[in-house]
């Protein structure tokens, strides 16, 4: 197994100390900062801690320490603190045209025997009408929720009681 040696500069050490002491960052950033500070092998660090000591004091696994050290050595301080950005590209299933069809369908009369449209009924009907090859009720929910939020923003401040 490759051993990664963390050697921090004075600026990196100062910024990590600030990050760990302020408490205005998320817990994983603070934990990663503490790991890096304790693993530092530079002459600025007077007390060198072993991975076992760090693991016991911070109540984390040895693998977590190794992963943070590896990210720091290979990819730098920013990636070691925050992790990598996701490179996955998501394809949108619902574009503006299909969203309009879905909203129009939800505003129409529900099928016979039903008082109102359910998300599953909307999803099934949209597939039946050929708007989508397949769509889940969750995608329908997210699309309609987004639409409702947009409508709410448009109507805010446009009260009928306001003088013009």
Q: Is residue 50 part of a domain?
A: yes
Q: Is residue 90 part of a domain?
A: no
Q: Is residue 162 part of a domain?
A: no
Q: Is residue 111 part of a domain?
A: yes
Q: Is the pTM higher than 0.75?
A: no
How many C-beta atoms lie closer than 10 Å to residue 68's C-beta? 26
Q: Is residue 75 part of a domain?
A: yes
78 and 100: one domain? Answer: no
pLDDT in tens, 98-140: 889 888 998 999 999 999 999 999 999 999 999 888 999 998 9
State the pLDDT at residue 46: 72
Check: CB of residue 64 under 8 Å from CB of residue 35: yes
State the pLDDT at residue 11: 92
Q: What is the 3-state secondary structure (H, E, C) of 17-44?
A: HHHHHHCCCCHHHHHHHHHHHHHECCCC
State the pLDDT at residue 151: 64
- What values do phi and psi take at 37, rounded to 5? -65, -40
State the pLDDT at residue 137: 92
Q: CA-CA distance, 39 to 67, in Å (whole number)?
A: 12
107 and 75: one domain? Answer: no
Q: CA-CA distance, 141 to 35, in Å (whole number)?
A: 42
Q: Which residue has the tokens 């505003």?
A: 107
List 6's β-bridge partners, or say none.
Answer: 40
16 and 46: one domain? Answer: yes
3-class DSSP state of 6: strand
pLDDT in tens, 2-58: 788 888 888 999 999 998 888 778 889 999 999 999 988 887 777 778 889 999 999
52 and 112: one domain? Answer: no
Q: Is residue 33 part of a domain?
A: yes
Residue 31 is part of which domain span?
10-82
């Amino acid at each position: 197994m490759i051993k990664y040696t963390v050697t921090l500069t004075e600026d990196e050490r100062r910024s990590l100390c600030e990050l760990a002491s302020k408490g205005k960052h998320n817990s994983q950033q603070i934990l990663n900062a503490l790991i890096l500070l304790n693993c530092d092998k530079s002459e600025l660090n007077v007390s060198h801690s072993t991975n076992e000591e760090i693991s016991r004091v911070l109540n984390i696994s040895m693998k977590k320490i190794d992963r943070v050290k590896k990210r720091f050595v290979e990819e730098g301080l920013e990636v070691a603190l925050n992790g990598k950005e996701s490179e996955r590209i998501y394809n949108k299933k619902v574009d503006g045209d299909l969203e309009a069809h879905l909203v129009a369908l939800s505003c129409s009369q529900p099928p016979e025997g039903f008082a109102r449209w359910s998300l599953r009924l909307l999803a099934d009907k949209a597939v039946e009408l050929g708007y989508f090859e397949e769509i889940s009720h969750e995608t329908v929910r997210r699309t309609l929720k987004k639409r409702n939020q947009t409508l709410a923003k448009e109507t805010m401040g446009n009260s009928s009681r306001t003088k013009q």
